[in-house]
């Protein structure tokens, strides 16, 4: 069974009229597989836990690798969810008001088109955006949506 860990950032918006107590930061996967999708394709900065690595340690590492941002202090555990693929994702919430446009992701090599022999270097994360929880529910991979509910319980 594959295990991943990640961090779901939230911020308290300055706007009061919308009624949302917080926004969440979601990231869009890099590479050609996801380029034509939107709803249900977004995720949180997360990645595979390496052998011998702790879950929180992996979440912190993956967050920094995929965004280039410092990991916020005071992370709160959100528990885990199982993806449709069977992978288990462990998540923590952190409060920070980062500039989503300042994202700097690590890269990986990908053969594209498949079986072409051509290797492209693509970012692991293409972009990040802040969303109100109602819009995040639409954008986020459906297996990860329970994390939004747990975050709402923490943020209140």
Q: Is residue 65 within 8 Å of residue 107, measured between CB atoms?
A: no
Print the domain residue range for 66. Answer: 3-155
pLDDT digits (tens, 9 = 90+) for 83-97: 999 999 999 999 999
* Structure confidence at residue 14 as a pLDDT band (50, 70, 90): low
pLDDT at 95: 96
pLDDT digits (tens, 9 = 90+) for 35-74: 777 788 999 999 999 999 999 999 999 999 999 999 999 9
- Could you tell me which residues are beta bridge partners of residue 26? 129
CA distance 74 to 111: 39
Checking if the pLDDT of 24 tops 90, the result is yes
User: Between 112 and 26, where is the model more confident?
Assistant: 26
Q: Which residues contact 24 (CB under 8 A, 6 or more apart)?
A: 8, 9, 10, 130, 131, 133, 136, 148, 151
Q: Is residue 47 within 8 Å of residue 60, measured between CB atoms?
A: no
Half-sphere exposure in the Cβ direction for 140 (13 Å, CA): 23
Q: What mean pLDDT, rounded, does the chain reach?
A: 92
pLDDT at 18: 58
CA-only gyration radius of the chain, Å: 16
Q: What is the CATH number of the domain that holds 108?
A: 3.90.79.10
Checking if the pLDDT of 26 tops 90, the result is yes
Q: Number of structural domains, the chain? A: 1
CA distance 153 to 62: 25
Q: Is residue 42 within 8 Å of residue 57, measured between CB atoms?
A: no
């Amino acid at each position: 069974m594959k295990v991943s860990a990640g961090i779901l950032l939230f911020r308290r918006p300055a706007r009061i009229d919308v009624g949302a107590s917080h926004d969440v930061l979601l990231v869009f996967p890099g590479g050609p597989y996801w380029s034509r999708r939107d709803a249900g394709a977004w995720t949180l900065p997360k990645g595979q836990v390496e052998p011998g690595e702790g879950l929180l340690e992996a979440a912190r590492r993956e967050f920094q690798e995929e965004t280039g941002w410092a990991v916020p202090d005071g992370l709160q555990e959100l528990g885990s969810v199982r993806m449709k693929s069977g992978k288990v994702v462990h998540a923590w919430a952190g409060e920070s008001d980062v500039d989503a446009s300042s994202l700097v992701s690590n890269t990986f090599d990908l053969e594209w088109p498949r079986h072409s022999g051509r290797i492209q270097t693509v970012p692991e994360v293409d972009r990040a955006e802040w969303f109100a929880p109602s819009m995040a529910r639409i954008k986020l991979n459906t297996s990860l949506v329970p994390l939004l509910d747990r975050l709402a319980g923490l943020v209140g």
